Amino acid sequence: FIFVYHILSLFEGGLGQLGVGLAQMLREQYGKENVILSDIKRPPADVFNMGPFVYADVLDYKNLRELVVNNRITWLVHYSALLSAVGEANVTLARTINITGLHNVLDLALENCLRLFVPSTIGAFGPSSPRDPAPDLCIQRPRTIYGVSKVHGELMGEYLHHKYGLDFRCLRYPGVISATTKPGGGTTDYAVQIFHDALGSGHHECYLRPQTRLPMMHISDCHRATIEFMQADECQLSLRTYNIAAISFTPEEVAAEIRKHVPQLTVTYKPDPVRQNIADSWPMRFDDSNARRDWGWKPAYGLPELVTDMLDRVQNKRTNAGLPVS
Ligand SMILES: NC(=O)c1ccc[n+]([C@@H]2O[C@H](COP(=O)([O-])OP(=O)(O)OC[C@H]3O[C@@H](n4cnc5c(N)ncnc54)[C@H](O)[C@@H]3O)[C@@H](O)[C@H]2O)c1
């Protein structure tokens, strides 16, 4: 593949739920030295030993520029953000990281002709958006600072693409489910915690009502979608921001699927007003037909496959950590 020897990607916000796994997948394709992971947190030993890691604060433009120039970076993956629930608890910080940080990244990408990937989210929709399904183009009036900053990102990126030719690429991710990395304070986090609880205490207390349906995706589908989209030829893209979908489920549906393997799992529901309110304003399903048509997006994991895989991985993790498995 033509890019293999030139790609040097920089990830900021790379130590969160999604960054490490994506870097790993990209390194398998492009070589470990060609992908630089960065964050403002100290990396765990295994991540540090996995490949190049540097400190980079998305708010420090000069430092970002130095990294891009000195390393001849060609792709930039912008993962640093404050997620929905955390953002509502700290609106000023969310505004700074999610909006000022994004402006830095857009300027940097434009200045250095980078291919820029910025993820968006189901949170970029709001109560006046069509919810079942939400198409790519529709009313977007989110009511969280997280959603507002993501819509701002989508619009700024598209504007700079149309005005100056910036190679901006954005996918609206559903809630992402992973076993090895912890979620970062979003509204869909319960769908990860329930697996740990199923194999730990055998009991999960859910902060959403049982019938709250949200779009979700296995982390490996999310990484594969991101790489396939980044690799797609520009002429394949009729949009710069696409929905990607895999599964939509409710807490009671995922619990029922887990019970096929862990029959003793009990779930109680204690809705948290902040997160329930956010979830009620988000789409129940995504329409991703444009992504499927334009660049061939197709998820691999349905609900049964996701549950089997998550239980296997969480069980291995608990066993390796010397924890009991119920
Ligand atoms: N995880 C999901 O379910 C999901 C769903 C939709 C969209 N997304 C998007 O994907 C991206 C990655 O999400 P995630 O789940 O890995 O998030 P996360 O919260 O787990 O990680 C975000 C990372 O950003 C870093 N960060 C914070 N402030 C920073 C700063 N000033 N400079 C540099 N880094 C900083 C944090 O240290 C953290 O490691 C985010 O943009 C998020 O909006 C995630």
106: domain CATH number is 3.40.50.720
Regarding whether 316 and 293 lie in a shared domain, the answer is: yes
Residue 4 lies inside a defined structural domain of this protein = no
In a domain, 183, yes or no: no
Note whether 251 and 238 are same-domain residues: no
pLDDT tens-digit map of 118-138: 999 999 999 999 999 999 999
Q: Is residue 82 part of a domain?
A: yes
Residue 202 has pLDDT above 60, yes or no: yes
Position 5 scores a pLDDT of: 34
Domain count, the chain: 2
User: Which 8-state DSSP code applies to residue 96?
Assistant: I
Question: Where residue 296 sits, what CATH number does that domain have?
Answer: 3.90.25.10
Q: Are residues 163 and 275 in the same domain?
A: no
The C-alpha torsion from 129 through 193 and 88 to 212, rounded to 10°, is: 30
pTM, two decimals, is 0.94
Q: How confident is the model at residue 85 (pLDDT cuts 50, 70, 90)?
A: confident
Mean pLDDT across the chain: 93
- Is 3's pLDDT higher than 70? no
Decide whether any atom of ligand 1 lies within 6 Å of the 189 Cβ: no
* Of 137-146, 177-186, 276-285, 293-302, minimum mean pLDDT range: 177-186
Residues 135 and 208 in one domain: no
Same domain, 201 and 228: no
What is the reported pLDDT for 182?
74
| Active-site position among 5, 30, 79, 146 | 146
Supply the pLDDT for residue 62: 96
Q: How far is the CA of 39 from the centre of ligand 1 (A)?
A: 10
Model confidence at 184, in pLDDT bands (50, 70, 90)? confident
Span of 24-28, 61-65, 185-189 with lowest mean pLDDT: 185-189
Tell me which range, 61-65, 76-80, 236-240, is most confidently predicted by mean pLDDT.
236-240
Over range 89-97, report the average pLDDT: 96
Predicted confidence band at 186 (pLDDT cuts at 50, 70, 90)? confident
- Name every residue whose Cβ is closer than 8 Å to that of residue 209 and which is 6 or more positions away in sequence: 251, 269, 271, 276
With a 6 Å cutoff on the Cβ, whether 59 touches ligand 1 is yes
What was the pLDDT predicted at 245? 97
- Does the beta carbon of 41 sit less than 6 angstroms from any atom of ligand 1? yes
Residue 49 has pLDDT above 90, yes or no: yes
Domain range holding 265? 190-214+247-320
| pLDDT computed for residue 64 by the predictor | 92
Nearest to 290 by CA among 245, 225, 242: 242
Residue where a domain stops, chosen among 205, 228, 243: 243
Residue 267 · residue 260 · CB < 8 Å = no
- What are the backbone dihedrals phi and psi of residue 117, each rounded to the nearest 5 degrees, phi first? -110, 125
Q: Are residues 314 and 286 in the same domain?
A: yes
Element (H, E) at 218: strand 214-218
Same domain, 209 and 128: no
For a pocket test of ligand 1, which of 83, 118, 182, 247 has the largest count of ligand atoms closer than 8 A to its C-beta?
Answer: 83
H runs (alpha helix) in the chain: 19-30, 45-48, 61-70, 84-89, 91-95, 101-111, 145-164, 190-199, 219-231, 251-259, 273-280, 289-295, 303-320
242 counts as catalytic = no
Residues 238 and 313 in one domain: no
Tell me the pLDDT band of 6, cut-offs 50, 70 and 90.
very low
How sure is the predictor about 325, in pLDDT bands with cuts at 50, 70 and 90?
confident
For the chain, give the percent of residues with pLDDT over 70: 96
How many whole angstroms separate alpha carbon 3 and alpha carbon 74? 10
Instruction: State whether 206 and 115 are in the same domain.
Output: no
Whether 275 maps to a domain, the answer reads yes
Helix, strand, or coil here: 21? helix
Residue 179 in any domain: the answer is no
Answer whether residue 2 shows pLDDT above 60: no
Count CB-CB contacts under 10 A for residue 324: 9
Q: Would you say residue 325 lies in a domain?
A: no
Spacing, Cα 81 to ligand 1 middle (Å): 4
CA of 115 relative to ligand 1 center, distance in Å: 19
Q: Is 190 in the pocket of ligand 1 (CB under 6 A)?
A: no
User: In the prediction, which pLDDT does 253 show?
Assistant: 98
Query: Is residue 180 a part of any domain in this protein?
Result: no
Coil, strand or helix at 55: strand
Residue 3 lies in a domain: no
Q: What single string gives the DSSP state of each residue in 259-323?
A: HTT-TT-EEEE---HHHHHHHHTS-SSB--HHHHHHH-------HHHHHHHHHHHHHHHHHHTT-
pLDDT of amino acid 8: 61
Ligand 1 center from residue 12 Cα (angstroms) = 9
Q: For 11-29, write each residue's pLDDT tens digit.
A: 667 788 899 999 999 999 9
If you measure from the C-alpha of residue 263 to the centroid of ligand 1, how many angstroms do you get, rounded to a whole number? Answer: 34
Judgement on whether residues 238 and 292 belong to the same structural domain of the protein: no
pLDDT(244) > 90? yes
In this prediction, residues 294-323 reach a mean pLDDT of: 95
Q: Nearest 5°: CA angle at 48, between 194 and 106?
A: 80
Q: What is the pLDDT of residues 248-296, one digit of tens each?
A: 999 999 999 999 999 999 999 999 999 999 999 999 999 999 999 999 9
CA angle at residue 288 from 109 to 179, to 5 degrees?
75
* 166 lies in the same domain as 17: yes
- Cis omega (within 30 of 0) for bond into 271: no
Least confident span in 49-58, 166-175, 249-258: 49-58
Q: Is 158 found in the same domain as 22?
A: yes
Mutate to test the pocket of ligand 1, among 10, 18, 222, 275 (most ligand atoms within 8 A of CB): 18
Average pLDDT over residues 32-50: 92
